[in-house]
Amino acid sequence: MDHHHAEAFHLMKYATKDGSHWEMIWNSRDGVTPFMVHSEDGRTMEHVEWRSDQYAPEWVPPLGSRIFVDATLERCVEWSRDWLRRYEKDPNFQSMLREVYPNKSHDEIARQRGEEMLTEHGEPPPDVLVVTEGVLAWLNQHRGSKAGGSKGEANGPA
- Per the CB < 8 A criterion, the answer to whether 79 and 36 are in contact is no
- CA dist list (Å): 116 to 7, 9, 73, 76, 112: 24, 25, 9, 9, 6
A 10 A CB-CB count for 93 gives: 14
Q: Could you tell me the pLDDT band of residue 157, with boundaries at 50, 70 and 90?
A: low
Where do the H-state alpha helices sit in 8-90? Answer: 73-86
Sign of the Cα torsion 157, 80, 111, 122 reads: negative
Provide the mean pLDDT of the chain. 90
What amino acid is encoded at 18 in this protein? D
- Cα 93 vs. chain centroid, distance in angstroms? 25
pTM recorded for the entire structure:
0.84
- DSSP assignment, residue 143? G
Q: Tens digit of pLDDT for each residue in 2-37? A: 899 999 999 999 999 999 999 999 999 999 999 999
Higher pLDDT, residue 141 or 34:
34
Q: Tens digit of pLDDT for each residue in 73-114? A: 999 999 999 999 999 999 999 999 999 999 999 999 999 999
